[in-house]
Structure 1
Amino acid sequence: MNPFSGSGTSALVEAHYGVGLGIELSSEYAQLSVKRCEDAGMKADLFYSDEAKE
């Protein structure tokens, strides 16, 4: 589990090993992470809260 997922670098490495869960408070970084994962051919699901801070 990565509580500070950021732009998705860790997610790409974790996916290579078949593990991982990223958590990001910033919606900007969360969207960037999803895009990076999708660009790499990975399926990325985004769960968010309406209370998340920008």
Structure 2
Amino acid sequence: MITQVKAVGDYTQASGAPARKQLTFFTTYSQISGAFFPQKFAFNCLLVVALVMVY
């Protein structure tokens, strides 16, 4: 669910940015998904079943 890996940086070495520095402009989706959705595959399966039942 999280689209931005925290272990690596977004900048190249030639840019002069510190190691592991990341952009924060397009990370709203990652922050929201990381806060509200558990990191379990079973939860995703149950969510799909519930959405199919509602449909």
State the TM-score, normalized to the length of structure 1: 0.34
Question: Larger Cα Rg: Structure 1 or Structure 2?
Answer: 2
